[in-house]
Structure formats: structure tokens, C-alpha cells
Structure 1
Amino acid sequence: MRTLSLTNIRRLGVKELWSLWRDPMMLVLILYVFTVAVHTAATAMPETLHNSPIAIVDADDTPLSRHIVAAFQPPQFVWPAIISMNDMDPAMDQGLYTFALQIPHGFQRDVLAGRNPAVQLNVDATRMSQAFSGSNAVQQIVMGEIDAFIERQRGERVQPIELVLRYRFNQTLDKGWFGSLMQVINYITMLSIILTGAALIREREHGTIEHLLVMPVTPTEIMLSKIWSMGLVVLVASALSIHLVVRGLLGVPVEGSLPLFFAGAALCLFATTSMGIFMATIARNMPQFGMLLVLILLPLQMLSGGFTPRENMPDLVRHIMLLAPTTHFVELGQAILYRGAGIDVVWRPFAWLLAIGTTLFMLSLARFRKTISRMA
């Protein structure tokens, strides 16, 4: 059995880099996902309440109603438009406002008298992303202003105990912090699978894989060359994205050690690039590889804990996803980038990634050897 040649692995890897350099579509894909897509994910989170248009019918025109009107401010809401009751329904029908709040006549009088006056809130539910979170925000703002007004008018004594909320790791609850870093983590997984799988299928379609079979190289050397070259491309692109886009353009702070994070990313890339080669040996062409990629990539990203906490998932799903490299990569990525964790905290995900990567590499190598033996 011939020993591995580091020179062959290096030269074959350089060949893969030159092949990628001559593929403009792949270069555009890499550039897009680590710049525009990351920035878009951070600035256009769909559940964020931002500059929602609101109109108010103030039929009371009292200090309390004016306090309520003044409480709706950017960036959650635009400055409220004061309209009449007759204009409310036509404006909502035209889609001019997402929310229309009606404050009835005698509202302040009824509040101070201890009665329960009704305040009407009309919501344009076709704007689903803002309707749900915005309704709760409007209710909290109105109730907060009423409580503060009653306390000032009646001079009620402040309670001896006050609950103070303190947010850790993301004090301003900026969803852009979460969106940008999670997209970088997801794109590392996605591109590593795409690049290695496409590299193997491209060689098969161009007939260059037959040239490799007559050279003094082994299947292991061919696989390792694709793994290190495509993994290096993804690592460099993700590092530039974090430094230039996430930290530079978006101003998102990174709490932990970036070298430790990229060490974990390298282990994840070892597993996902092996997975990409395994998928490429199953697919006969790029369209089949694309369909297979959808079936594999969506569960890897949706069930890894990046979008939904794993604690909210069924036990069966949580146990199965322990076999996926993305689960442990998301865990260590969030711990390091968000909470500044060290190796003493994230050593378990590192161990899982090493074990999963080794297993996937051995399975992919066996499948790759079987594939090229049929071609020979």
C-alpha cells in the first residue's frame, strides 16, 4: 500500500484552486453570499418592527391622549399621522397604514374615574411580519402611558420592589447581530458542500477525472486535495466577511476568539466537504446534485439550532441532529462569537466535529473508490 504524498496533495489542491479561479459563476456565488447576502440578512430581518406606519384618531385631545400619541416614535414606528374617524377606513383600505389607533372621546375622564374605556386598534394583517409583533408593541405602549399617567395624577407610592430587565450578550436586542453571524455560519456549510461536490462533478463532466486515474495518485490524495483547497477558499472568504462586512460595515461586535472559531470551522469543513464529495458520487450531473443539495442542506440549516432553539424541537429530531456537523458548529459558533466562550466550554462540539468528520471522510472515501473503480 503506497503512502500518501504531500506533494501530490498540494499540487492537486492547487489545480482545484486554478479550476475554481476559471469558473466565474462560482466566484460570483462566493462573493455574493459572503457580502450582499450577509448584509441583507442583518438589515432585513422579517420579524423586526421597523418604521411601521401608524395613524391615530384622537377624539379625546387630552394630556393623556397626547402622551400616547407622542409615545409612538422611530425606529419602531414612523411619527403617527393624526387623522379623522371618517378617514381611517379608506386609509386602511388603501394600505397607507399598518395600524390605526382610535382613542374615544372622554377617554382620560373614564380612566381617572376607574372605568374601562375601549380603545380600538385596527391592524392590516396582510402585512403579516409586522402585524403580529406590532400589535403587542402598540398594546404595551398604550398601557405603559396609562399607568404612568395614573401614577402622576393620583400620586401613588412607588412599589418597594422593581423588576429590572438586563439583557446579556446583545443588550440592545439588535437582530442584525444574530442575523449576520448566523448567515456566515450557514454559508460556510453551504459553500463547502457546493464547492467540493461541484469540483468532482465538473471533472467528471469534462473528462479530467480519467486523467487522474492514470496518474500515480491515490483516491485518498484526490479527496484530501479537494478538501483542503475548497476548505481554504471558504475559510478565507468567511474571515474576510466577518472582518469587512460583519465587524466593519455592520459594526457587530465579536466577543470571543476568532482563531478558536475558525479552528472549529476547519473541523466542520472537514466534515461538510467530505459530505459534498459523497453527494457528488451519488449524483450523475449538476442538476441532480442541486436537487440532492436541497434535500440535505435545508434540514442541516433549519434543524441545527441556528434559527430555532434545539430545546423546542421534538426529542427524536434533537437526537438525530446530533449526528449532523452543523448542530455542533452552530453550538460552538454561538458560544464563541456571542458569549466569548473558550476551549474549556466548547471542547465537546470540537470532539463531536472531529468524530463526525472522520466518519464522513471514511464513508466518502469508500464511496469515491468504488466510483472511480467503475470508471477505470
Structure 2
Amino acid sequence: MARSTTLLRNTWTLGLKEFRSLGGDVAMMVLIVFMFTASIYADARARPETLQRASIAVVDEDASQLSTRIVAALHPPQFIDPELISLADIDKGLDAGRHTFVLDIPPNFQRDVLAGRSPALQLNVDATRQSQAQTGAGYIQNIVGEEIRDFVQRGRPAATPQVELVTRAMFNPNLSASWFTAIASIINNITMLGILLTGAALIREREHGTLEHLLVMPVTPLEIMLSKVWSMGVVVLVASAFSLQVVVKGLLGVSIAGSAVLFGLCSLLYLFAAASIGIFMGTVARSMPQFGLMSILVLLPLQILSGSMTPRESMPEIIQGLMSLAPTTHFVALAQSILFRGAGLDIVWPQLLMMIAIGAAFFMLALHRLRSTIGQMQS
């Protein structure tokens, strides 16, 4: 009983020391505030919901009524007003980056359409602008097809299709990209700061010489580790909760379907795993630059391959298997289920248990490594 009381008291006291140390680090405080406010807002707003103001040019070799209708249909906000150019200017415009799309309407296009000859239009696309290339090509194809159908029918009613497909978008009715981007940014920032804060705190102890001071005090490696886990976990949890309520729900207007309390509980348990990874990395790295380089190698796979950016089902099976051993994968799955689909504990408990088990394994590994590091320093 006395040992447990001492453990809790020392863990609490050391955790308060971490708060004071973090409060004195102005750069880190500014980073935390920025990542959970301006960074999330900018990331969500920087990506347009649909095609926006893409540059397009048209080579109208037909100069017919139909070609004029097609040019007029390519209007804002999807496209900038089309620029009429000559055939010789196509390569110049694409090479200079002035146009993302160049549509070439051949001679006698209207006559061939009315004669049923199915003439071909040429669409040149600057595929280096990947965010617009694929979406814009689909928009142009639909616009041209609709204008040709209307012109050929000339006001006659279109044939009624035998089957009508009614689409219902679940959990994101307007298919708003900012909804998904904002939640994904919070998840990625929780991962990043959960690892960086704890690892940086341990490196800072070593560089400032305060770790040696702790070694002469009646504290154990377990108490040192637990103090960093709970204190940095509380900081990230408070910052993420503020971001979810104020930035995501308030400023961005994202509809949160599930329980914020359940998400906070799952985030706290996930931070236990992320902080353990950070401490392990802090015991391996010998300096802050080494820790920074190591963080790049760890954070990028965790963020890109965890399912927060692309579905895991689209990845190779070997990558899916390897990433199933990362706590981030299970946290992304349960976070999306809770916040988007309104899932409860009865739905996300398998991911929660896996996350706890993986977190416990990382915690034991980090504790073993910390004890070995402290043992080497004492010897």
C-alpha cells in the first residue's frame, strides 16, 4: 500500500514538473497551439470541395453553333473563362503551364455529329496538376456529352431510363472534403505530438543534465516514464478536445455524429501507446537532431499507411499486415467510426482492445529500454 502511494505521489510530482518545463518552452507551446488551430483550419480549407477555377483553352476549328455551345458551357466556378487559341499554341500553353486543359474541336464537328459519324474531340491535360487533372477531365467529358445530347435532341424529351439509380451519401451528405480532412488532421496531430512531446521531454532531460539529478532521487524508471506519459497525454488531449469543439465543429461546421467523451477516452488510451513509442525513440536517439530524423522515419508511415489518408484495403496485403501491429491503425478506425458514423463502445471495442494490447507492448519495451539506458548512465 505504501509503495503504491509513493508511486502515485512521485508520478504526480514529476508530471507537474513536466508541465512547468513545457510551459517554459515557448517554441513548443506555439507549435501545439498552431497544430490544433490554424493548421487544422488551413488544411481543411486549402483543399477545394470540387473542381475550382481550372484554366482551360479551346481550339475551335469548327466555329459552329454546337462548338460555341460547348465553349460557353465551360464556365466558372469550375473553370476560368475559356481562352480561344490556335492549333499551333497548344504545346506552348501546356509547356508554359498557362493551361491545365486544352480542348481541340476538329473541323466539321457539328456536321459529323448530326450525320451520326461519332467524331472525336481531343482533350490535352497537364497531368502534373494531379489534383485537377482527373476530376477536370471527367467534368469536361460530362459537359461535352450533355451539350451534344441537348443539341441533337433539339428540345425533344429524352428517353426515360429503365432503371434510375438513387444515390444516398451516408455520414457526409454533401461529400464535403473538409469534413474528412479536418478529422484526419486531428488524428495525425495527436499521433505526432503524442510521440514528439514525450520523446523530446526525455531528450531535454538528458541534454540539460536533469536526468542525472533524477537518478539520485528516490524515483524509479517506471515513475519517470509514467509521469511523462500522463502529463504529455493530458496536454495533447486538452488541445485535441479544444480543436474538435471550437475549430472543427465551430469554425468549420463539421457535424460530429458520435460521442466526444468516448472519442476522448479512446484518444487518452491511444496517447498511452504513442507516448510509449516516443519514450522508446528518446532512449535510442542521443540528441535532439537524431530524434528529429528518427521521427520522420516513424511518423510518415504511421500517418500515410494507417488509413487516415487512403483506405487500407487499397494497400498491399503485406503492408496491411505490418500496419495492423501499429496502434495508429486501430485508432484511425475507431476514431472515424465514432466521429463520422456515431458508433458506440459496442462497435469499436475490438479496435480499442487491440490498441490497448499494442500500447502495453510498446510501454513494456520502452520501460525496458529506459531502465537499460539509466543503468548505463549509472555505471
TM-score by length of 2: 0.91
Q: Percent identity?
A: 57
What stretches of structure 2 of length at least 5 have no aligned partner?
none
Aligned to 1:16: 18
Task: Write out aligned runs for 1:161-310 (5 A).
Answer: 161-310=163-312
Give me the whole-angstrom Cα distance separating, in 2, the residues matched to 1:18 and 1:210: 19
Aligned to 1:2: 3
Task: Write out aligned runs for 1:1-376 (5 A).
Answer: 2-3=3-4, 4-45=6-47, 49-60=51-62, 62-83=64-85, 90-153=92-155, 155-376=157-378
Is the 1:47–1:129 Cα contact (8 Å) retained in structure 2? Answer: no
Once the two structures are superposed, residues 30-57 of structure 1 have per-residue CA deviations (whole angstroms, 9 ceiling, x without a partner) of 1222223222321233996321111234
Give me the whole-angstrom Cα distance separating, in 2, the residues matched to 1:218 and 1:331: 35
Give me the whole-angstrom Cα distance separating, in 1, the residues matched to 2:89 and 2:281: 60
Once the two structures are superposed, residues 226-256 of structure 1 have per-residue CA deviations (whole angstroms, 9 ceiling, x without a partner) of 1111011111111122222222222222221
Give me the whole-angstrom Cα distance separating, in 1, the residues matched to 2:74 and 2:260: 40
Give me the whole-angstrom Cα distance separating, in 2, the residues matched to 1:293 and 1:118: 52
Give me the whole-angstrom Cα distance separating, in 2, the residues matched to 1:110 and 1:294: 58
Please provide the CA RMSD for this pair. 2.3
Give me the whole-angstrom Cα distance separating, in 2, the residues matched to 1:361 and 1:253: 35
Give me the whole-angstrom Cα distance separating, in 1, the residues matched to 2:311 and 2:283: 33
- Tell me which amino acid in the other structure corresponds to 1:109: R
Provide closer, same or farther for how the CA distance between residues 72 and 188 of structure 1 changes in structure 2, counting only shifts above 3 A: same
State the 1:187 CA deviation.
0.9
Once the two structures are superposed, residues 278-326 of structure 1 have per-residue CA deviations (whole angstroms, 9 ceiling, x without a partner) of 1111111111111221221121112111122111222222122111000
Provide closer, same or farther for how the CA distance between residues 328 and 215 of structure 1 changes in structure 2, counting only shifts above 3 A: same
- Tell me which amino acid in the other structure corresponds to 1:308: T
Report the more deviating stretch, 124-133 or 78-87.
Answer: 78-87
- Tell me which amino acid in the other structure corresponds to 1:134: G
Is the 1:48–1:130 Cα contact (8 Å) retained in structure 2? Answer: no
What stretches of structure 1 of length at least 5 have no aligned partner?
none
Give me the whole-angstrom Cα distance separating, in 2, the residues matched to 1:90 and 1:312: 38
Q: Give secondary structure in 2 for the equivalent of 1:252.
A: coil
Q: Give secondary structure in 2 for the equivalent of 1:55.
A: strand
- Tell me which amino acid in the other structure corresponds to 1:24: V
Is the 2:49–2:178 Cα contact (8 Å) retained in structure 1? Answer: no
State the 1:24 CA deviation.
1.5
Report the more deviating stretch, 81-90 or 189-198.
Answer: 81-90
Q: Give secondary structure in 2 for the equivalent of 1:251.
A: coil
State the 1:178 CA deviation.
1.5
Q: How many residues align?
A: 376
Provide closer, same or farther for how the CA distance between residues 47 and 286 of structure 1 changes in structure 2, counting only shifts above 3 A: farther
Report the more deviating stretch, 160-169 or 8-17.
Answer: 160-169
Is the 2:48–2:177 Cα contact (8 Å) retained in structure 1? Answer: no
Give me the whole-angstrom Cα distance separating, in 2, the residues matched to 1:167 and 1:147: 28
Give me the whole-angstrom Cα distance separating, in 2, the residues matched to 1:283 and 1:132: 43
State the 1:223 CA deviation.
1.0
Once the two structures are superposed, residues 106-143 of structure 1 have per-residue CA deviations (whole angstroms, 9 ceiling, x without a partner) of 43332222111222223234434322332232122212
Provide closer, same or farther for how the CA distance between residues 51 and 265 of structure 1 changes in structure 2, counting only shifts above 3 A: same
Give me the whole-angstrom Cα distance separating, in 2, the residues matched to 1:125 and 1:157: 36
Q: Give secondary structure in 1 for the equivalent of 2:103.
A: strand
Is the 1:272–1:357 Cα contact (8 Å) retained in structure 2? Answer: yes
TM-score by length of 1: 0.92
Give me the whole-angstrom Cα distance separating, in 2, the residues matched to 1:361 and 1:311: 29
Provide closer, same or farther for how the CA distance between residues 148 and 346 of structure 1 changes in structure 2, counting only shifts above 3 A: farther
Report the more deviating stretch, 253-262 or 202-211.
Answer: 253-262
- Tell me which amino acid in the other structure corresponds to 2:334: L
Q: Give secondary structure in 1 for the equivalent of 2:272.
A: helix
